[in-house]
Amino acid sequence: MLQTASAPSLREETASLLRSLGLHETSFTGGGREVRSPITGEVIASVPETTADEARATIGRAHEAFLKWRAVPAPRRGELVRLLGEELRTAKADLGRLVTIEAGKVISEGLGEVQEMIDICDFAVGLSRQLYGLTMPSERADHRLQEQWHPLGTVGVISAFNFPVAVWSWNAALALVCGNALVWKPSEKTPLTALATQAILDRAIQRFGPDAPEGLSSVLLGDAAVGEALVDDARVPVISATGSTRMGRIVGQRVAARFGRAILELGGNNASIVTPSADLDLTLRAVAFGAMGTAGQRCTTLRRLIVHESVHDALVERLARVYRGISVGSPVAGDALVGPLIDRTAFDGMQKALEAARAAGGTVHGGERVDVNGEGSFYVRPALVEMPAQTGPVVEETFAPVLYVLKYRTLEDAIALQNGVPQGLSSSIFGTDIREIEAFLSAAGSDCGIANVNMGPSGAEIGGAFGGEKETGGGRESGSDAWKAYMRRQTNAINYGRSMPLAQGVKFDV
Ligand code: UN1
């Protein structure tokens, strides 16, 4: 009943959002690929698909644009990103709402995603005056040694459904100030937010004026064939790909085969350690957001909770209560904290993981389907799973709200468990004992790209470098000096004297 009531309105609302974000009707109706909202499962638009030939032509235009854009001074390039940030501020409510409809995020998370885009724009504007190279003392008289950072080329961005626009913006804001062009292949599940974001950038480009060349940024819609055209094209020196480890393994190898650069942000299987000195009230709130936020569909989602035996039973009991009571529902009707899974495949994957957990001796609380909007959408009660050991599904990333709980006795064991999976994105520790906390942050502690204290593993700010080790892929995006991956480093040795001494004392007198 609910489904019939909301069906026409979601489609209409999508169309009206897209129009107000600046899209023409023809770009989201009548195309060959249907787009569904996970909120109801209904078709909300249909977009055209790019062919591999069109993709190659777009890459060619991007390369031409790069040749012009690299000559625009970096602080001036920053001005374009400043305008993008301004346009995003204006569009925040509409784009956030569109993220909610297309990706199923609850309202505050949809808005939060756009805020993350605004934040990285602000960061990149400042960065546009800080693309610093070092100067080094030369060992030779009357010589100078320095490095410069130059624009690199076109950056290919492959993004996932779960952060359909923020992850693009981490790449785009940096790439643009670094003097590069962009070609973006969004997830097939979230083309609309990509088209809307491109329209927002187009407005910024319009306001910026003719210094921003035609073809500076484009979107390719399509499946693997289009992705492959991007990945295999030598005119795209950097591919930044977010998604599964399976995808990243293929992309990484193909990009390496042509000596391109891959920035890979792949699967996470993030753990938190709860030590005896932890503040359990704070821990409970952090774990709830970390494990159930975004319906467990962040690469940073908390998936394993490693709890000291002295606090294990008390924490699990309280957590089980929170899991039973958490509101699961439509993000556009009411204020539920947990929205839908993206699709049936995600639901099936979750159920399979829970079966495997039971078979491995796990006790499962929750995890069942919740009927919110009928058969076409997939809502679940998040699952809390007490596991006897770190085996089976616990060492895999299941992109759904499943939290495995394990017990530990010594911190050393806890760290070994935390590090004992193939993925290495994010991690955290709860406690007030400075020795335990510092041990966790030390070289012998967490092996992840992100290690937090008294908070969960998800919800990173843009100021730090984002990414992880091992099967997470090793790439870094967003803040700190992640920009260096989007530029080429040139080392310059300059002789301003009248003689020509050779380095290392080599003699070669002719
Ligand atoms: C992702 O899930 O791909 O740290 C990115 C976080 C967000 C980004 C997640 N800022 O959870």
Res 219: pLDDT:
98
- Per-chain mean pLDDT for the chain: 97
Ligand 1 centre distance from Cα of residue 162 (Å): 9
Residue 465's Cβ-side half-sphere holds a number of Cα atoms within 13 Å equal to: 16
pLDDT bracket for residue 469 (50, 70, 90): very high
CATH 3.40.605.10 location in the chain = 11-266+475-490
What's the pLDDT tens digit per position in 342-382?
Answer: 999 999 999 999 999 999 999 999 999 999 999 999 999 99
Ligand 1 pocket, 103 CB below 6 A? no
Which two tokens mark 122?
Answer: 């602000």
Assign 3-class secondary structure to 268-312.
Answer: CCEEEEECCCCCHHHHHHHHHHHHHHHHHCCCCCEEEEEEEHHHH
Q: Determine the residue of 270, 298, 476 to mutate for testing ligand 1's pocket, defined as the one with the most ligand atoms within 8 A of the Cβ atom.
A: 298
CA 206, CA 212: separation in Å to the nearest integer? 8
3-state secondary structure of 335: coil
- Phi then psi for 37, rounded to 5 degrees? -90, 130
Say if CB 157 and CB 191 are below 8 A apart: no
Q: Which helix (H) or strand (E) holds 58?
A: helix 52-69
Ligand 1 pocket, 208 CB below 6 A? no
Atom of ligand 1 nearest to the CA of 466: 4
Question: Residues of 420-433 as b/e, b for ≥16 C-beta within 10 angstroms?
Answer: ebebbbbbbbbbee
Q: Which helix (H) or strand (E) holds 156?
A: strand 154-158
Ligand 1 pocket, 460 CB below 6 A? yes
Alpha helical stretches, state H, 107-262: 107-127, 166-177, 191-208, 224-231, 245-257
Assign 3-class secondary structure to 308-334.
Answer: EHHHHHHHHHHHHHHHHHCCECCCCCC
- CA nearest 154: which of 240, 212, 227? 240
pLDDT above 60 (res 422): yes
Ligand 1 centre distance from Cα of residue 459 (Å): 6
Which two tokens mark 78?
Answer: 């920053």
pLDDT above 50 (res 5): no
CATH 3.40.309.10 location in the chain = 270-461
Res 9: pLDDT:
87
- CA nearest 294: which of 284, 302, 283? 302
Give the CA distances from residue 28 to residues 45, 190, 205, 384, in Å, rounded to whole numbers and listed in that order: 6, 12, 22, 39
Alpha helical stretches, state H, 304-433: 309-325, 344-359, 411-419
**Tally of CB atoms within 10 A around 150:** 13
Q: Whose CA is nearest to atom 1 of ligand 1?
A: 299
Q: Determine the residue of 111, 123, 163, 170 to mutate for testing ligand 1's pocket, defined as the one with the most ligand atoms within 8 A of the Cβ atom.
A: 163
CA 443, CA 429: separation in Å to the nearest integer? 15
Q: Determine the residue of 170, 466, 472 to mutate for testing ligand 1's pocket, defined as the one with the most ligand atoms within 8 A of the Cβ atom.
A: 466
What's the pLDDT tens digit per position in 39-82?
Answer: 999 999 999 999 999 999 999 999 999 999 999 999 999 999 99
- Phi then psi for 491, rounded to 5 degrees? -95, 130
Give the CA distances from residue 421 to residues 48, 195, 214, in Å, rounded to whole numbers and listed in that order: 40, 37, 46
Which whole number is the average pLDDT over 163-168? 98
Which two tokens mark 171?
Answer: 């790449």
Which two tokens mark 144?
Answer: 């100078």
CA 461, CA 455: separation in Å to the nearest integer? 13
Say if CB 121 and CB 173 are below 8 A apart: yes
What's the pLDDT tens digit per position in 214-245?
Answer: 999 999 999 889 999 999 999 999 999 999 99
Atom of ligand 1 nearest to the CA of 301: 11
CA 110, CA 93: separation in Å to the nearest integer? 9
What's the pLDDT tens digit per position in 128-156?
Answer: 999 999 999 999 999 999 999 999 999 99
Mode of pairing for the β-strands spanning 426-430 and 270-274: parallel
Ligand 1 pocket, 159 CB below 6 A? no
Which residue of the set 265, 397, 471, 477 is catalytic?
Answer: 265
Ligand 1 pocket, 458 CB below 6 A? yes
Which whole number is the average pLDDT over 442-451? 98
107 class by beta-carbon count within 10 Å (0-12 exposed, 13-18 middle, 19+ buried): middle
pLDDT above 60 (res 326): yes
Which two tokens mark 193?
Answer: 């937010």
CA 260, CA 256: separation in Å to the nearest integer? 6
Which whole number is the average pLDDT over 297-302? 98
Ligand 1 centre distance from Cα of residue 306 (Å): 21
**Tally of CB atoms within 10 A around 242:** 26
Assign 3-class secondary structure to 214-247.
Answer: CCCEEECCCCHHHHHHHHCCCCCCEEEEECCHHH
Domain 11-266+475-490 in this protein, CATH class: alpha beta
Residues in CB range of 186: below 8 A, 6 or more apart:
159, 164, 168, 193, 194, 219, 221
Percent of the chain exceeding pLDDT 70 equals 98
Atom of ligand 1 nearest to the CA of 297: 2
CATH 3.40.309.10 is the classification of domain 270-461: yes
Please, what is the Cα angle at 378 between 373 and 383, to 5 degrees? 125
Give the CA distances from residue 182 to residues 6, 216, 243, in Å, rounded to whole numbers and listed in that order: 37, 6, 19
User: With the C-alpha atoms ordered 112, 113, 119, 121, is the resulting torsion angle positive or negative?
Assistant: negative
Q: What is the dihedral of CA 231, 234, 240, 241, to 10 degrees?
A: 10
Ligand 1 pocket, 428 CB below 6 A? no
Ligand 1 centre distance from Cα of residue 467 (Å): 9
Res 8: pLDDT:
52
Is residue 265 part of the annotated active site? The answer reads yes
